């Protein structure tokens, strides 16, 4: 698995080193804050903060820039095409940070968490009918991911590791984007591929494939984060304004969608409005979205200790040129300050 991705990782690393050398730290001025994001349920707090006017109340003009997978968000941040990233924590991002990218990971934007459904391994109907139904059946099979070094690649490696299966026994297959993965499984062009919500629910509802497992059944993981360019992070007023609005979005999502009593889902009064907001940005029907709502921390608090675990795995599997120091790339103080200003 490491050899297959080495050429790609080296090319990406060279690109990052070039754009990092051009990185500036000037003020944002009156320009909109450009946020790189994917059209996923886990982006709900960002969508809510836009729709409810929380960013505007903070005096911020926010421009959402939509991308097909997590790695291009890191590339866009390195190339100064965005100011804020709101997506998965990938080898590409860590390579950029190790190479000198001036940015900080500051907040939660989605976790793989027990009891909540975010990422599933989907199996094609043809492969399912032929008996591909367990993790132990994966050796020799193709598993679709967006890109080498992506969050999906990481989850595959960690799940295999937990079950004692060498990663070299599985054929990791990069397909470029979530829609490509869904189409490949639905048309039996690949045996399995990872999928995020609401697409797992969409595929099951439309009988486009079968779910083998939820990753949260095997792994707890800070899959996605909010990361700020160095210039935004140093402009404390701007950073705190963004995070206060974002945290308010997190709270609306959590309080109306994620609360549980004795393991039973309790829907808040704004549940339908939140579903409509997610539907607007993902293009999926509210009832499908509601079937699988992933976990986001209510206060946007990052599971900071997991960052080091991720870096170690990527490095040990040949996907990082060198290890970035977690203490230098993670900054939890901004969220702590924003929370003290917002109150409970």
* Residues 126 and 165 occupy one common structural domain: yes
Q: Quick one: 328 exposed, middle or buried, by C-beta within 10 A (0-12, 13-18, 19+)?
A: exposed
> Which residues, at least 6 apart from 144, have a Cβ–Cβ distance to it below 8 Å?
152, 173, 174, 175, 181, 184, 185, 190, 192, 193, 194
Looking at the fold, whether 168 and 256 belong to one and the same domain comes out as: no
Residue 185 pLDDT greater than 80, yes or no: yes
Helix, strand or coil for residue 237? helix
CATH at 51: 3.40.190.10
Q: 143 lies in a domain?
A: yes
pLDDT at 90: 93
Helix ranges restricted to H, 115-150: 125-129
Identify whether residues 72 and 8 lie together within a single domain: yes
Q: What is the pLDDT of residue 177?
A: 85
| 287 is a domain residue | no
- 185 in the same domain as 55: no
Q: What pLDDT shows up at residue 10?
A: 56
Residue scoring higher pLDDT (339 or 321)? 339
pLDDT band for position 199 (cuts 50, 70, 90): confident
Does 161 score more than 70 pLDDT? yes
Residue ranges making up the domain that contains 67:
2-111+222-282+294-342
Residue 268 CB burial class (10 angstroms; 0-12, 13-18, ≥19): middle
- The answer on 128 and 260 residing in a single domain is no
pLDDT of residue 158: 97
For residues 240 and 332, state if they share a domain: yes
Which residue, 217, 232, 251, sits at the end of a domain?
217
Q: 132 and 213 in contact (C-beta within 8 Å)?
A: no
Q: What is the pLDDT of residues 96-150, one digit of tens each?
A: 999 999 999 999 999 999 988 889 999 999 999 999 999 999 999 999 999 999 9
The pLDDT value recorded for residue 22 is 39
- Shared-domain flag, residues 311 and 208: no
Q: Quote the percentage of the chain above a pLDDT of 90.
A: 78
**Rounded to whole angstroms, how far apart are CA atoms 246 and 267?**
21
CA distances from residue 197 to 178, 187, 211 in whole angstroms, order as listed: 10, 19, 12
Distances (CA, A) of 328 to 7, 114, 318: 27, 29, 22
How many other β-carbons are positioned within 10 Å of the β-carbon of residue 134?
10
Are 86 and 126 in a shared domain? Answer: no
The residue among 186, 217, 248 that closes a domain is 217
What length does the chain have? 344
Predicted confidence band of residue 13 (pLDDT cuts 50, 70, 90): low
Contacts of 268 (CB under 8 A, 6+ apart): 255, 256, 257, 259
Residues 131 and 104 both lie in one domain: no
Q: Is residue 226 part of a domain?
A: yes
Q: For residue 328, is pLDDT > 90? A: yes
pLDDT at 5: 54
* Domain co-membership, 230 together with 269: yes
Last residue of a domain, one of 171, 199, 217: 217
pTM of the model: 0.85
pLDDT band at 297 (very low <50, low <70, confident <90, very high): very high
Rounded distance, CA 278 to CA 267, Å? 15
- The pLDDT of residue 198: 80
Verify that 138 and 184 share a domain, yes or no.
yes
Per-residue pLDDT reduced to its tens digit, 221-268: 999 999 999 999 999 999 999 999 999 999 999 999 999 888 788 999
The per-residue pLDDT for 25 is 38
**Are 40 and 176 members of one domain?**
no
- What are the beta bridge partners of residue 119? 196
What is the rounded average pLDDT of the residues 263-290? 94
Tell me how many domains the chain contains: 2
């Amino acid at each position: 698995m490491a050899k297959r991705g080495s050429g790609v990782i080296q090319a990406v690393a060279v690109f990052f080193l070039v754009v990092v050398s051009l990185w500036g730290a000037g003020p944002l001025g009156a320009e909109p804050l450009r946020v790189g994001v994917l059209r996923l349920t886990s982006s709900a707090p960002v969508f809510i903060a836009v729709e409810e006017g929380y960013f505007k109340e903070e005096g911020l003009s926010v421009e959402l820039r939509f991308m097909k997978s997590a790695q291009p968000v890191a590339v866009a941040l390195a190339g100064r095409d965005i100011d804020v990233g709101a997506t998965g924590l990938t080898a590409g991002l860590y390579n950029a940070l190790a190479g000198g990218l001036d940015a900080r990971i500051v907040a939660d934007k989605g976790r793989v968490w027990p009891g909540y459904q975010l990422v599933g391994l989907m199996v094609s109907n043809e492969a399912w009918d032929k008996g591909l139904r367990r993790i132990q059946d994966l050796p020799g099979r193709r598993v679709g991911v967006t890109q080498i070094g992506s969050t999906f690649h990481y989850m595959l490696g960690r799940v295999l590791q937990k079950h004692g299966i060498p990663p070299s026994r599985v054929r990791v297959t990069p397909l470029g984007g979530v829609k490509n993965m869904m189409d490949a499984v639905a048309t039996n062009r690949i045996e399995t591929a990872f999928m995020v919500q609401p697409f797992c629910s969409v595929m099951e509802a439309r009988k486009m494939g079968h779910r083998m497992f939820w990753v949260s059944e095997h792994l707890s993981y800070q899959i996605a984060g909010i990361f700020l360019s160095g210039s935004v992070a140093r402009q404390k007023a701007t950073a705190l304004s963004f995070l206060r609005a974002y945290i308010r979005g997190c709270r609306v999502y959590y309080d109306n969608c994620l609360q549980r009593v004795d393991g039973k889902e309790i829907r808040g009064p704004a549940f339908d409005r939140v579903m409509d907001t997610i539907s607007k940005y993902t293009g999926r029907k509210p009832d499908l979205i509601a079937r699988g709502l992933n976990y986001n921390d209510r206060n946007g608090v990052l599971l900071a200790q997991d960052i080091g675990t991720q870096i170690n795995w990527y490095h040990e599997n040949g996907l990082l040129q060198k290890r970035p120091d977690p203490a230098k790339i993670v900054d939890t103080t901004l969220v702590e300050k924003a929370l003290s200003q917002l109150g409970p």
